[in-house]
Amino acid sequence: MMCGGTTEAKPASEEVQAILDEVKAAVEEKVGFTLSKYELISYKTQVVAGTNFFAKIDLGDAHVHARVYRNLQGEISLHSVQHPKALEDDIEYF
């Protein structure tokens, strides 16, 4: 990983799924529909003044990439969502 860059993609983890669960309502607002499925597939991280999580999420019939920020105090917020995405799309910085 280069300084300031993202890590390589990592497989889903319970810790990152829990972080994503905290912003599910905000993701629903961004995509414009209620999510019946919301499952982390893989993710990358970037260390800043806190941590950015770049996540690939399975919505059932669709996929999204979400950027979630956790600050040094542990507060979590949704930064942005890329939708629609295909399962094979790589997670890139956004």
The per-residue pLDDT for 1 is: 45
Summarize pLDDT for 81-94 with one digit per residue, the tens: 999 999 999 999 99
Residue 21 has pLDDT above 70, yes or no: yes
pTM for the model: 0.92
Q: CB–CB of 42/36 below 8 Å? A: no
Percent over 70 (pLDDT), the chain: 97
The pLDDT tens digits of the residues spanning 49-74 come to 999 999 999 999 899 999 999 999 99
Rounded CA-CA distance 33/25 in Å is 10
Helix (H, G, I), strand (E, B) or coil at 41: strand
Question: Average pLDDT of the chain?
Answer: 94
Q: Which residue ranges make up each domain of the chain?
A: 10-85
